[in-house]
Chain A
Amino acid sequence: MTLFKVDARAGTVSFKASRAFYSRQSAAIAAHVFESKARVSLAETPRSFELELKARRKGTPAAELEALAGEFLNELLNQEYRLVVGGANKRIADLIVTQALFCAGGAGADGAARAAGIRARESAPEFRAEVDRLMAEARAELALTRTRTPPAKEAASRP
Chain B
Amino acid sequence: MSRLTTLAEPAAVELKGLGAFNFRDMGGWHLLTNDWGRYMMLDDGEFARFMSGRLAERDPLREELAANGFVRERTDFASMARSYAEKTAFQRLLGPSLHMMVVTLRCNQQCQYCHSSVVDPSRTDADMDLATAKRTVDFIFETPNPAICIEFQGGEPLLNWPVVKFVTLYARKKAEASGRKLYLTLVSNFTLMTEERVDFLFAHDVSICTSLDGPAELHNKNRPFLGSGAAQEKVVHWIERMQARCDAIVGRPFSRPSALMTTTRFSFDYSKEIVDLYVKLGMEQIFVRGLSPIGYAKRVWGDVGYTTAEFLDFYSRTLDYILELNRKGVPIMERMALILLTKIVRGVDPGFMDLRSPTGAVLGCLAYNYDGGIFVSDEGRMLDHMGDDSFKVGDVASSDWDAVLGHPTTRACVVSSVLENQPMCAQCAFKPYCGVEPVYHYETQKSIFGSMPTSGWCRARMGMFDAVFQRLRDKECRKIFDRWLEWDRRWQENGGSSAEPEAEAAR
Distance, CA A159 to CA B239, complexed state (A): 12
Contacts A100-B358, A111-B144 hold; do A145 and B162 have CB atoms under 8 A apart? Answer: yes
Give the interface size class of chain B: 35 or more
Q: Does B95 contact A (CB under 8 A)?
A: yes
Distance, CA A141 to CA B162, complexed state (A): 6
**Chain B window 87-109, contacts with chain A (Cβ cutoff 8 Å), 1 for yes, 0 for no:** 00001111110000000001010
Chain A positions within 8 Å of B141 at CB level: 118
Please tell me which one of the listed residues B106, B134, B358, B426 contacts residue A89 in the complex, with CB atoms under 8 A apart: B426
Distance, CA A127 to CA B402, complexed state (A): 26
Chain A positions within 8 Å of B411 at CB level: 101
Task: Evaluate contact between B170 and A134: CB separation under 8 angstroms.
Answer: yes
Distance, CA A103 to CA B362, complexed state (A): 12
**Chain A window 76-114, contacts with chain B (Cβ cutoff 8 Å), 1 for yes, 0 for no:** 001001101110110011001101110111110101001
Task: Evaluate contact between B414 and A155: CB separation under 8 angstroms.
Answer: no
Q: Does B159 contact A (CB under 8 A)?
A: yes
Distance, CA A33 to CA B91, complexed state (A): 29
Task: Evaluate contact between A96 and B92: CB separation under 8 angstroms.
Answer: no
Q: Does B166 contact A (CB under 8 A)?
A: yes
Task: Evaluate contact between B162 and A152: CB separation under 8 angstroms.
Answer: no
Q: Does B401 contact A (CB under 8 A)?
A: yes
Chain B positions within 8 Å of A93 at CB level: 418, 420-421
Chain A positions within 8 Å of B191 at CB level: 156-157
Q: Does A158 contact B (CB under 8 A)?
A: yes
Chain A positions within 8 Å of B159 at CB level: 151
Chain B positions within 8 Å of A145 at CB level: 161-162
Q: Does A63 contact B (CB under 8 A)?
A: no
Distance, CA A36 to CA B159, complexed state (A): 39
Task: Evaluate contact between B173 and A103: CB separation under 8 angstroms.
Answer: no
Distance, CA A84 to CA B470, complexed state (A): 32
Nearest CB of A to B317, in Å: 32
Give the interface size class of chain A: 35 or more
Q: Does A43 contact B (CB under 8 A)?
A: no
Task: Evaluate contact between B358 and A122: CB separation under 8 angstroms.
Answer: no
Nearest CB of A to B482, in Å: 31
Please tell me which one of the listed residues A81, A135, A137, A156 contacts residue B228 in the complex, with CB atoms under 8 A apart: A156
Distance, CA A150 to CA B130, complexed state (A): 20
Distance, CA A85 to CA B422, complexed state (A): 7
- When C-beta atoms are compared, the residue in chain A nearest to B452 turns out to be A78
Nearest CB of A to B155, in Å: 11
Please tell me which one of the listed residues A75, A130, A157 contacts residue B234 in the complex, with CB atoms under 8 A apart: A157
Distance, CA A153 to CA B124, complexed state (A): 14
Chain A positions within 8 Å of B121 at CB level: 150-152
Nearest CB of B to A81, in Å: 4
Distance, CA A153 to CA B452, complexed state (A): 47
Task: Evaluate contact between A114 and B144: CB separation under 8 angstroms.
Answer: yes
Which of B11-19, B43-51, B442-450 contacts its partner?
B442-450
Please tell me which one of the listed residues A74, A111, A142, A150 contacts residue B402 in the complex, with CB atoms under 8 A apart: A111
Nearest CB of B to A142, in Å: 5
Nearest CB of A to B1, in Å: 21
Distance, CA A107 to CA B92, complexed state (A): 8
Q: Does B253 contact A (CB under 8 A)?
A: no
Contacts A99-B92, A142-B130 hold; do A157 and B405 have CB atoms under 8 A apart? Answer: no
Task: Evaluate contact between B421 and A152: CB separation under 8 angstroms.
Answer: no
Nearest CB of B to A94, in Å: 9
Task: Evaluate contact between B415 and A78: CB separation under 8 angstroms.
Answer: no
Chain A positions within 8 Å of B194 at CB level: 157
Question: A residues 37-93 with Cβ under 8 Å of B?
Answer: 74-75, 78, 81-82, 84-86, 88-89, 92-93
Distance, CA A101 to CA B193, complexed state (A): 40
Task: Evaluate contact between B144 and A85: CB separation under 8 angstroms.
Answer: no
Nearest CB of B to A1, in Å: 20
Q: Does B192 contact A (CB under 8 A)?
A: yes
- When C-beta atoms are compared, the residue in chain A nearest to B168 turns out to be A134
Nearest CB of B to A33, in Å: 5
Q: Does B142 contact A (CB under 8 A)?
A: yes
* Most-contacted residue by chain B among A100, A145, A150, A153 (CB, 10 A): A100
Given contact pairs A96-B358, A118-B178, A157-B190, a sample of 9 additional A-B residue pairs in the complex whose CB atoms are under 8 Å apart = A78-B452, A89-B426, A104-B363, A111-B402, A115-B142, A115-B400, A121-B177, A135-B130, A158-B237
Q: List 14 A-B contacts (CB under 8 A).
A: A78-B452, A82-B423, A84-B423, A92-B420, A97-B415, A104-B93, A104-B363, A105-B405, A107-B144, A118-B141, A121-B178, A134-B170, A138-B130, A151-B106
Q: Which 7 A-B pairs have the closest CB atoms?
A: A138-B166, A141-B162, A81-B423, A106-B144, A89-B420, A152-B121, A93-B420
